[in-house]
């Protein structure tokens, strides 16, 4: 499994991402934010916290992504606010050339589904 250029945000308590030990992983250039959970990512017996998430792979960071209006149980707005640590934190790949709204990604893409607007 390969995870890259994503934003993972947990809204509830004790809600890490669990991946079974038999899975091979490449996890690079992702932003994680789980403010109510000590564990962020669990791969088999290996656990990663906010302080150790960078050990999961190159370019992984822990920070508030600064979504415009994250929500639970209602519609939210997951575009990035100005100053988001996800802005320009991705790695360009030729297979991902636009965002969810069909706006082009540049050579320094933002993490997540949307490029930060002008």
- pLDDT tens sequence across 56-106: 999 999 999 999 999 877 889 999 999 999 999 999 877 778 899 999 988
Give me the residue spans of the domains in the chain. 2-64
**Checking DSSP bridges between strand 31-33 and strand 61-62, what pairing results, if any?**
parallel
- The answer to whether 29 touches 4, Cβ cutoff 8 Å, is yes
Tens-digit pLDDT profile for residues 24-40: 999 999 999 999 999 99
User: In the Cβ-directed half-sphere of 79, how many Cα atoms lie within 13 Å?
Assistant: 9
- Report DSSP letters for 79-117, one per residue: EEPTT-TTTT-S---TT--B-TTSPBP-SSPPSSS-PPP
Contact 33, 85 (CB under 8 A): no
């Amino acid at each position: 499994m390969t995870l890259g250029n994503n934003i993972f945000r947990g809204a509830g308590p004790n809600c890490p991402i669990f991946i079974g030990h038999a899975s091979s992983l490449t996890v690079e250039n992702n932003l994680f934010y789980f403010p109510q959970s000590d564990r962020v990512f669990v791969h088999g017996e290996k656990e990663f916290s906010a302080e150790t998430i960078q050990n999961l792979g190159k370019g992984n960071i822990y920070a508030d992504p600064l979504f415009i209006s994250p929500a639970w149980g209602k519609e939210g707005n997951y575009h990035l606010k100005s100053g988001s640590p996800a802005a320009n934190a991705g790695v360009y790949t030729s297979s991902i050339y636009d965002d969810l709204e069909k706006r082009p990604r540049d050579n320094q893409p933002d993490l997540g589904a949307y490029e930060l607007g002008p």
